[in-house]
Structure 1
Amino acid sequence: MIDLIAIFVLFFAVIDPIGTVPVFIAVTRHQNPAEKRRTALKATLVASVILVFFVLAGEQILESLDIPLSAFQVSGGIILFLFALTMIFGESKPEEEVKLSGDAQDKSIFPLAVPSIASPGAMLAAVMQTENTLYSLPEQAQITGVMLLVLASALILMLASTYVHRIIGDSGASIISRIMGIILASMAVTSVLEGIVAYFGL
């Protein structure tokens, strides 16, 4: 039986809806309320399409390249771990991605949809959490539903960004992002260990 709570925490860590709020505020600061709603909806829709694509086709792409999923688990876990380290020790997600917004034309796509919502970590998680040999189609549908629930929470937080930011501020978002980084690091190590076990059949 799949642990939907653990999967929710994983996707919440890699998507980081709270850390998206300062990014959203920065890229929509010159927009009126209607434009902000359209930007939030478009960014969430684009991110959802990208992540669902990785759920549906990610493993098939790996198989076509003759890459075992266990190897992807190890490499993906290492990348997630490095990604987590940047969340913990480097610039936090809001600080880093606000800087990316400077030259972008359609800011709902970049940096909001990618890499703020559909981050590289989220793409890796979408593939690793829906492995065909481990999860049945109904289970994969449940996992995808959990992922979409996290994306919906990101949309809600963006729509309520003014109130959320007033409560937590940039510092609060930065702190939460670093806490998510710690959680993500432990999950990344688990993924590496599981990949090693699967590859060597231990």
Structure 2
Amino acid sequence: MKLDPKEILSVSLILFSIIDILGSIPIILNIRKKTGEIHAERTTLVSGLLMFGYLYLGTQILALFGVDVSSFAVAGAIILLLMGFEMILGREIFKHNPTTGARSSSIVPLAFPIIAGAGTMTSLLSLKAAYHVESIIIGILINLVLVYAVLKSSKWLEKKISAASIEVLQKVFGLILLAIAIKLIKENLFVLG
């Protein structure tokens, strides 16, 4: 099969808009502030494993537990909803264990549900029906490189963005996160009902 650059670009842009790593910068900086560190390598690796797992085994894994994609999307949306409230209200909902600290926050909530959450899973399952798997694999890899670059530069970003700007960005992106969560819940509750 010959790789189609247009198809790869389309898949990459769709995943980029769903993952929204640039929009997640306030969340990343908030986690960095709480834990003191972001493990870019671990988060990128786990996110990649989740994405490839969704691509190849997504529907089978959910079926094994008797869960459909819509139920999974609602569960992920509830986590996003709580994170949005946390960002807007300035209250800690997700408690960070000081013994695991940055290690666990690299997985939850960064790798899942921020980077490779329910939206990413449903998108990958939809993309699989419309595009060649090779194009999707390349699109995932391109996005993982971008995710790694943003996570790795979190210390630099924290220095460049003022505390007041971070707080404003947190409130704005918290509201956007709430809107995305509500949209996911609304779309998938309709499917469930």
Q: Same fold (TM over 0.5)?
A: yes
2:102 matched to 1:105? no
- Superposition deviation, residue 117 in structure 1: 1.4
Matches within 5 A, 1:79-90: 79-88=75-84, 90=85
2:26 matched to 1:22? no
Letter in 2 for 1:156: S
Aligned length: 178
Question: 1:53 maps to what in 2?
Answer: 49
SS at match of 1:63: helix
Question: 1:163 maps to what in 2?
Answer: 160
- In structure 1, C-alpha distance between the alignment counterparts of 2:63 and 2:69, rounded to whole Å: 14
Q: Does structure 1 conserve the Cα–Cα contact (< 8 Å) formed by 2:12 and 2:143? A: no
Question: 2:87 maps to what in 1?
Answer: 92
Tell me: CA distance 1:83–1:106, structure 2 relative to 1, closer, same or farther (3 Å).
closer
Q: Does structure 1 conserve the Cα–Cα contact (< 8 Å) formed by 2:80 and 2:178? A: yes
Question: 1:119 maps to what in 2?
Answer: 112
CA RMSD of superposed structures (Å): 3.6
Could you tell me which runs of 5 or more consecutive residues in structure 2 were left unpaired when the two chains were aligned: 1-6
Any idea what the Cα deviations from partners look like across 1:91-119, whole Å, max 9, x if unmatched? 2287436x623x322423122x0213112
Question: 1:9 maps to what in 2?
Answer: 17
- In structure 1, C-alpha distance between the alignment counterparts of 2:21 and 2:175, rounded to whole Å: 10
Letter in 2 for 1:48: T
Tell me: CA distance 1:96–1:138, structure 2 relative to 1, closer, same or farther (3 Å).
farther
Letter in 1 for 2:57: Q
Residue identity (%)? 10
- In structure 1, C-alpha distance between the alignment counterparts of 2:59 and 2:101, rounded to whole Å: 31
Any idea what the Cα deviations from partners look like across 1:115-170, whole Å, max 9, x if unmatched? 13112353434433322444422231243135312342233234321322435133
User: Given the two structures, how large is their TM-score scaled by the length of structure 2?
Assistant: 0.69
Matches within 5 A, 1:168-187: 168-187=165-184
- In structure 1, C-alpha distance between the alignment counterparts of 2:13 and 2:186, rounded to whole Å: 18
- In structure 2, C-alpha distance between the alignment counterparts of 1:184 and 1:9, rounded to whole Å: 15
Question: 1:128 maps to what in 2?
Answer: 122
Could you tell me which runs of 5 or more consecutive residues in structure 1 were left unpaired when the two chains were aligned: 29-38
